Amino acid sequence: MRLFWDEKQRAHRPAQEFFNGALHPAADRPERVDSILAALGGWEAPQERGETELLGALRAVHDPAYLSFLASAHAEWRAAGREGDALPYAFPIRRRPQELERIDARLGRYSYDTCTPVTEGTWDALLAGAATVLEALDAVLAGDHAFALTRPPGHHAGADYMGGYSYLNWAALAAVASGKRAAVLDLDYHHGNGTQDVLEGREGLSFASLHADPRTDYPFFWGHAEENGGNIRNWPLPRGTEADAYEAALDEACAWVAGRSPELLVVSFGADTWEGDPISHFRLKTEDYARLGQRLAALGLPTLVVMEGGYAVEALGANVAGFLSGFSLLHLGGAVAGSASR
């Protein structure tokens, strides 16, 4: 398993988010990265890729006008006399007009919640994330499994909207850029609504998700069982789900994925399924994650894992390391424990 990380992803440093009726310190803080970096060794930095190359890949997933918005949003916010991070407060209901002038209107046009601020360093971090994903994809296409440590997360981002701490969709980017028959399997606590939106109906691509029942949990308006059909399959699970029930659902998801005959597996992995996560309510334990990884490895597919959620910083590194250990022995804590390749 090859591991990829770009330090420039630290540039995204949101201070606050608004949810549940109040301002809170941002959950997606850079310390999440430190926990994972400390638990795993052998990291590789992606090669330098120009913005033109990165935008070319991103435009296969995201609307060009949305990408332009992300690149300029914080500068426009500051030019309007605002301080701090840019947050939306007004949202369209029935339609989303394209020609909008004020940054306040454009923030609402391209987002669906108030917990996804655009910071001074967001765009630079996003470009670094895209380079990390594409480098990891190259490694997988060359015959290795790979893990792209992506931050901020990606699976809530749609073709032309941000939300759920997500701005660009890493899993969709990898699936589309691969040029292969690809399946995305989302194992975050929250439904990957953006990935579903981007991939629904795309020939040769599939999306499956295990997640908290959206009748009780974010993102609420996507991921219900009745959305199943075509190349989309959802497994909503109740709060309090423990390992046995989660693994039974994962077995069903893996069987569905195998039935799609993919050539590539992309895993949106969120460790917010852990029992102590501060914003989630499943009850997986650290020792459960290796079994999940082993189940996916048993599919026998070239696999790219991208990082999504997981906000219990003290346990995050161990949970990620456990999951990845299911694919191969890793360099744990900087000590050589086995081979890095498939």
Nearest to 163 by CA among 271, 17, 305, 291: 17
Give dist(CA 332, CA 330) in Å, integer. Answer: 6
Residue from 156, 190, 191, 211 carrying the catalytic annotation: 156
Q: Is 131 left (phi over 0), alpha (psi -120 to 50) or beta?
A: alpha
DSSP letter string over 255-302?
Answer: HHHHHT--SEEEEEE-GGGBTT-TT----B-GGGHHHHHHHHHTT---
Question: Are β-strands 264-269 and 182-187 bridged in parallel, bridged antiparallel, or unpaired?
Answer: parallel
Identity of the amino acid at 288: D
Question: Are β-strands 146-148 and 303-307 bridged in parallel, bridged antiparallel, or unpaired?
Answer: parallel
Nearest to 10 by CA among 152, 136, 147, 113: 152
331 in catalytic set: no
Please check whether residue 177 is in contact with residue 202, taking contact to mean a CB–CB distance below 8 angstroms. no
Token pair 């629904």: residue: 200
User: For residue 311, how many other CB atoms are within 10 A of its CB?
Assistant: 21
Structure token pair of residue 246: 């989660």
Structure token pair of residue 334: 């900087």
Question: Are β-strands 146-148 and 16-19 bridged in parallel, bridged antiparallel, or unpaired?
Answer: unpaired
Q: For 182, list phi and psi in degrees, rounded to 5.
A: -125, 145
Active-site residue set: 156
